[in-house]
Structure 1
Amino acid sequence: MYNESEALPPLEALPQIPIVTSVACSFILAVIYVGSLYVWDTKYNRDHPTTIKRRFASVTVVMLFAPFFVYFYSSPELLQREPFPKLLGFRLPGLWQATVIPYLLTALLYLGPIFVNMQNESFRSYFDLDYWRGSFSNIIWIRNHVMAPLSEEFVFRACMMPLILQSFTPLTAVFITPLFFGVAHLHHIAERLSMGIELSTSLLIGLFQFTYTTLFGFYSAYLFARTGHVIAPLLAHALCNYMGLPDVQDLWQQDQWKRVVAIILYLVGFAGWIYLLPIATEPSLYQNRLYWNV
């Protein structure tokens, strides 16, 4: 029987797969994921319920198909040594830690915005059951906070990272896979053009979106490699989608003392996140000896 506590040789000691294989598989997965969003011939925009439901079906098929890339292109020695679900980030050891610690770490990054939100009446709605019932009956909310994090983290982290990690060091892999994730979001440029938005504006928004999605991708890939759990980046992704980018305008509408406190909390949250990132993601906390050996 497989015993997680047994000493395991590092991943680097195993025969690795060629770089061209892991990169090509990751590129194909990214193309398939984005392409699946456009296989439907529809006259509706991306926020129409019909479009969203069809895209749900598309990405679900991609999620079912993506693990085969990991299974067929991974090192045979690795597949013999490790249970396949573990390669995808599905395992019991360290699960509760991977569920709680990275989520709290991500919340720390939003310490300032959370304080600002607490000053608004809307913050009370978070404790209202009717608010959550309405959210889970809103298909756009489900797309942004459930399906998008679930499908993107499964394809771009659980299925890409195991392949890239077999060709590169963990730290290098963390900086490679987010590029596929960032590029995959550039398709929104075409959607904006179809909505009549000017090319220059669409490109500028697309570049901005590529930047912050790639930066988040670094963080998400880091969480996967360090914890060995896909739940860690998935929950962090859902929280980031929920919080969104900091609303600077809302910040400056606060009273002076609240604004000062908020700015301090912005800085403290960011500094605390940087300081705690390597500590809170220490692989030993999650009994992870597979993906992070540096």
Structure 2
Amino acid sequence: MVFYIGPLVHSAMDNPTGFSGELQSLLDVQSWRWCVRDAVWLRNQLVAPVTEELVFRGAMLPMLVPCTGPTAAIFIAPLFFGLAHFHHIIEQRPLHKDGMCVILMVSGTQFLYTTLFGAFTAFLFMRTGHVVGPVLCHSFCNSQGLPDITSALQHPHQSAILLSYLMGLLLFLVLLFPLTDPFFYGPIPVCSLSAPTASAC
């Protein structure tokens, strides 16, 4: 979540009531009632994070680690995760009248960021041994989307927003290993960074 400090500050600055307004909308019961009745919200915030993390992290990584080793598995499994998002081409066709070239560029960008996100959640799963962390990260990132750097660069409070983006990135990098220390997540991980056995594959 610290990675999203920039977008969260940006959103709060754009809200006329500031941070308190953002917090009020987050705690608004009526808003949550609307969300749980919305099929798209349920897909993006619950169904996709749970099913995709169970498949791509919970099932795929424990099978890959004995064959490829932990580091390679962290980078191989997300490729499948990225490819699995190419079905969004179907959703893009009515939106882009410019043709297939634009659609492929959008899908290629989506493949890139879903693969990077998949590597992060694979790392998270391997470090903690639990799928809950990746599911929560996935749901949160789906709710936020990609950070809107272009809008941040054009904002009247550009310096403050860009500083918050930088702070979020630095905190993410500094806290990545300490907050994913296996010590905090129980003695029996589902999947560990152990070396592959010779007879595994």
Same structural fold, with TM-score higher than 0.5 when normalized by the shorter chain: yes
For 1:3-29, what per-residue CA distance to the aligned partner results, in whole angstroms no more than 9, with x for missing partners? xxxxxxxxxxxxxxxxxxxxxxxxxxx
- Paired position in structure 2 for 1:125: 25
Query: What code does the residue aligned with 2:72 have?
Result: T
Whether contact under 8 Å (2:93, 2:103) holds in the other structure is yes
Q: Select the residue among 28, 34, 38 that pairs with 1:134.
A: 34
Q: How many residues align?
A: 186
Query: What code does the residue aligned with 1:110 have?
Result: Y
For 1:101-180, list aligned pairs within 5 A: 107-119=1-13, 120-121=15-16, 123=22, 124-180=24-80
Whether contact under 8 Å (1:110, 1:266) holds in the other structure is yes
- Paired position in structure 2 for 1:232: 133
Q: For 2:67, what is the secondary structure of its paired residue?
A: coil
Structure-2 separation of matches of 1:139 and 1:250: 29
Structure-1 separation of matches of 2:95 and 2:154: 32
Whether contact under 8 Å (2:3, 2:168) holds in the other structure is yes
CA drift of 1:263 comes to 0.8
1 or 2 for the larger relative contact order (CA 8 Å, sep ≥6)? Answer: 2
Whether contact under 8 Å (2:74, 2:119) holds in the other structure is yes
Structure-2 separation of matches of 1:186 and 1:137: 27
CA drift of 1:253 comes to 5.3
Query: What code does the residue aligned with 2:176 have?
Result: L
- Paired position in structure 1 for 2:89: 189
Structure-2 separation of matches of 1:196 and 1:212: 20
TM-score (norm 1): 0.59
- Paired position in structure 1 for 2:152: 251
Query: What code does the residue aligned with 1:244 have?
Result: G
Whether contact under 8 Å (2:25, 2:31) holds in the other structure is yes
Whether contact under 8 Å (1:283, 1:292) holds in the other structure is no
CA RMSD of the aligned region, Å? 1.9
Whether contact under 8 Å (2:153, 2:162) holds in the other structure is no
5+ long unaligned stretches in structure 2: 196-201
1:262 corresponds to 2:161: yes
Whether contact under 8 Å (2:96, 2:103) holds in the other structure is no
Structure-2 separation of matches of 1:252 and 1:177: 34
- Paired position in structure 2 for 1:70: none
Q: For 1:165, what is the secondary structure of its paired residue?
A: helix
- Paired position in structure 2 for 1:206: 107
- Paired position in structure 1 for 2:198: none
Q: Work out the percentage of aligned pairs sharing the same amino acid.
A: 38
5+ long unaligned stretches in structure 1: 1-106
TM-score (norm 2): 0.85
CA drift of 1:118 comes to 1.4
CA drift of 1:293 comes to 3.3
CA drift of 1:165 comes to 1.2
